[in-house]
Amino acid sequence: MSVFRHIVTALFYVVLIGRSVYFAQGQLSPTFYDQTCPNVTNIIRGILLNAAIDDPRITASLVRLHFHDCFVQGCDASILLDDANTTEKVALPNANSVRGYELIDQMKTALENVCAQTVSCADIVTIAAEESVVLAGGPSWAVPLGRLDSRSANRTLANSALPGFNEPLDDIKAKFAAVGLDTSVDVVALSGAHTFGRAQCFTFDQRLYNFSGIGDQDPDLNETLAARLREICPTSGLTNLTNLDHTTPNAFDNRYFTNLQVEEGLLRSDQILFSTPGADTVEIVNNFSSNQTAFFEAFAVSMIRMGNIRPPADVGGEVRLNCRVVNANISTVSDSEDARLVSSI
Ligand code: HEM
Ligand SMILES: *[C@@H]1O[C@H](CO)[C@@H](O)[C@H](O)[C@H]1NC(C)=O
Ligand SMILES: *[C@@H]1O[C@H](CO)[C@@H](O)[C@H](O)[C@H]1NC(C)=O
Ligand SMILES: *[C@@H]1O[C@H](CO)[C@@H](O)[C@H](O)[C@H]1NC(C)=O
Ligand SMILES: *[C@@H]1O[C@H](CO)[C@@H](O)[C@H](O)[C@H]1NC(C)=O
Ligand SMILES: *[C@@H]1O[C@H](CO)[C@@H](O)[C@H](O)[C@H]1NC(C)=O
Ligand SMILES: *[C@@H]1O[C@H](CO)[C@@H](O)[C@H](O)[C@H]1NC(C)=O
Ligand SMILES: *[C@@H]1O[C@H](CO)[C@@H](O)[C@H](O)[C@H]1NC(C)=O
Ligand SMILES: *[C@@H]1O[C@H](CO)[C@@H](O)[C@H](O)[C@H]1NC(C)=O
Ligand SMILES: *[C@@H]1O[C@H](CO)[C@@H](O)[C@H](O)[C@H]1NC(C)=O
C-alpha cells in the first residue's frame, strides 16, 4: 500500500507539478506499516508508558484527542495544525481542554528517526488512543491504518460538529449520524470513554446550581454526588477538575454505566443516556453495566468505526513531517525530497 502511495505521489509530481491537487487515502489496513515501519506500535506504546508514569490522565486525554480529530472532517490530524487562522485548537470544545499535543509530537519525532516520512500523524493519534485504552485496563483491537494527514483545518466545523455537554440526546445523536456513526450503540459505547479522565466544573455545574434557570438542581443527579461536587465547584464557572467516573477514575472499565444507573453520571450528556424516558440508549446502558465483556467488545467495534471516518477529498492528503504544520507546497518541494519519492518507486 505504501509503495503504491509513493508511486501515486511520484506520478503526481511528474504530471501535476505546481498544481494544488491532492490524492485521497486508500483502504485502511492493520498491516499497513508491516513492511515500512513494523515497530510503529511498540514505539508509540513505549513513549505512552513513560508519560503515564507522571501523568496517568494522559491515556484519557489521548482517547479524547482522537475523538475530537475524527468528528471534524474525519480522522485527518486536522486538530494538530497550528495555523493561526484555522487552528481547531482554539475552538470552544477544544480550547484549554484538549490535551496530548506535545506527546503526539514526541511520538512523531521518534517515528521520523526510525522510519522517515512514513507514519501519518492521524495514524499516530489513532494508535495512541488504542494503546491508551489498553494501558488503562480496557480492550485491545487491531487498528486499521493508512490514514493521510489533511492540508487544512476547519475551526468553524470544530465549533459545530462536536457534541456539547448540555445538548439534548437527539442533538447528540444527530451529530453522530452526521459523521456516519450509529445513533444508539455507537453513542452509548463511545460515551463509555468517560470511564476515565477529568472534566472542569463549568461543564456540569449548571446541574448543581441553576439547572433550568430558576436556581434549581438537576433532578437526574444523585444528591450524595451533588453535595460532593458542590465542594469541588463552590460556585459556577470554575475550571477545577474532577473525575468523570468517581468510582474508578483512571481505570477503563464499565463502572461508567453502573454510575448512570444510580444517577451518578457527571455530565448531563452522560446521564441522559439512562434518564431519558423511552430512549433506545437505556437498555444498552443496562447491558454494558451488567456485562463488561459486552461493553469492551462494542467499544472496540465503535472505536474502529469512529477511526474510519473519512476526510473529504478537498482537505488534501499527505504524511506530514511535523504534525503541527502542513508540508511545503508541491511547487516549492525541495529537489532532494522529490528525488527520494521518485527513487522509492
Ligand atoms: C457524546 C457526547 C460527548 C460529550 C458531550 C462529551 C463532552 C466532554 C466534556 C465536556 C469533557 C470534559 C472536558 C473539560 O472539562 O475540559 C469530556 C472529557 C472527555 N471525553 Fe467526552 N464527550 C462526549 C463523547 C466522548 C467520546 C465519543 C469520547 C471518546 C471515544 C470521549 C472521551 C472523553 C475523555 C476520555 C475525556 C477526559 C479527557 C481528559 O481527562 O483529558 N468523549 N467530554
Ligand atoms: C521496537 O521498539 C521497542 C520500544 O521502543 C524497542 O525496545 C525495540 O528494540 C524495537 N525493535 C526494533 C526491531 O527496532
Ligand atoms: C490570517 O490571519 C491574519 C492575522 O491574524 C490576517 O492578516 C490574514 O488576512 C489571515 N489570512 C487569511 C487567509 O484569512
Ligand atoms: C468549514 O466547515 C464549514 C461548516 O461545515 C463549511 O461551511 C466550510 O466550507 C468549511 N471551510 C473550509 C475551508 O473547508
Ligand atoms: C440562572 O439562570 C438564569 C437563566 O439563564 C439566569 O437569568 C440567572 O441569572 C441564573 N442564576 C444564577 C444564580 O446564575
Ligand atoms: C476550586 O477553585 C477555587 C477557585 O479557584 C478554589 O478556591 C478551590 O479551592 C477549588 N476547590 C477544589 C476542591 O479544588
Ligand atoms: C445515590 O447514590 C447513593 C450512594 O451511591 C445510592 O445509595 C442511591 O441509591 C443513589 N440514589 C439514586 C436515586 O439512585
Ligand atoms: C456478555 O457479553 C458477551 C459479549 O457480547 C456475551 O458473549 C455473553 O454471553 C454476555 N454474558 C452474559 C452473562 O450475558
Ligand atoms: C448486550 O450486548 C451483547 C454484546 O454486544 C449483545 O450480544 C446482546 O444482544 C446485548 N443485549 C441487550 C439486551 O442489548
Ligand atoms: C501553499 O500555497 C498556497 C497558494 O499559493 C498558499 O496560500 C499557502 O499558504 C501555501 N502553503 C504553504 C504551507 O506554503
Q: Per-residue pLDDT tens for 55-71?
A: 999 999 999 999 999 99
- 214 CB less than 6 Å from ligand 5? no
What's residue 60's pLDDT? 99
Atom 11 of ligand 9, nearest CA residue: 287
68 in catalytic set = yes
Smallest Cα–Cα separation from 88: which of 103, 71, 109, 106? 71
Atom 3 of ligand 8, nearest CA residue: 294
What's residue 14's pLDDT? 35
- What is the 315 CA–ligand 10 centroid distance (Å)? 13
Is 163 marked as a binding-site residue? Answer: yes
What b/e string do you get for 312-338 counting C-beta neighbours within 10 Å, with b at 16 or more?
A: eeebbbbbbbebbebbeebeeeeeeee
- 326 CB less than 6 Å from ligand 10? yes
What's residue 345's pLDDT? 27
- 304 CB less than 6 Å from ligand 8? no
- What is the 200 CA–ligand 5 centroid distance (Å)? 19
CB atoms within 10 A of CB 171: 12
Per-residue DSSP letter, 14: H
The mean pLDDT of 297-315, rounded to a whole number, is 98
CA dihedral of 164, 195, 95, 65, whole degrees rounded to 10: -110
Q: Per-residue pLDDT tens for 209-240?
A: 999 999 999 999 999 999 999 999 999 989 99
- 291 CB less than 6 Å from ligand 8? yes
Is 194 marked as a binding-site residue? Answer: yes
What's residue 330's pLDDT? 53
What's residue 147's pLDDT? 98
Count of CA atoms in the C-beta half-sphere (13 A) of 201: 17
Distance CA 324, CA 120 (A): 12
pLDDT at 344 over 80: no
- What is the 41 CA–ligand 2 centroid distance (Å)? 10
Question: Comparing 3 with 78, which gets the higher pLDDT?
Answer: 78
Question: Comparing 337 with 74, which gets the higher pLDDT?
Answer: 74
Distance CA 161, CA 93 (A): 10
Count of CA atoms in the C-beta half-sphere (13 A) of 58: 20
Q: Per-residue pLDDT tens for 30-48?
A: 999 999 999 999 999 999 9
- What is the 65 CA–ligand 3 centroid distance (Å)? 26
- 216 CB less than 6 Å from ligand 9? no
Is 314 marked as a binding-site residue? Answer: no
Is 203 marked as a binding-site residue? Answer: no
Question: Comparing 17 with 83, which gets the higher pLDDT?
Answer: 83
Question: Comparing 248 with 17, which gets the higher pLDDT?
Answer: 248
Which of 111-125, 236-250, 326-340 has the weakest average pLDDT? 326-340
pLDDT at 15 over 80: no
Shortest-distance atom of ligand 6 to CA 241: 14
CB atoms within 10 A of CB 103: 22
Atom 18 of ligand 1, nearest CA residue: 199
What's residue 26's pLDDT? 79
Domains of the chain: 2-164+306-338 (1.10.520.10), 181-300 (1.10.420.10)
Q: Per-residue pLDDT tens for 264-293?
A: 999 999 999 999 999 999 999 999 999 999
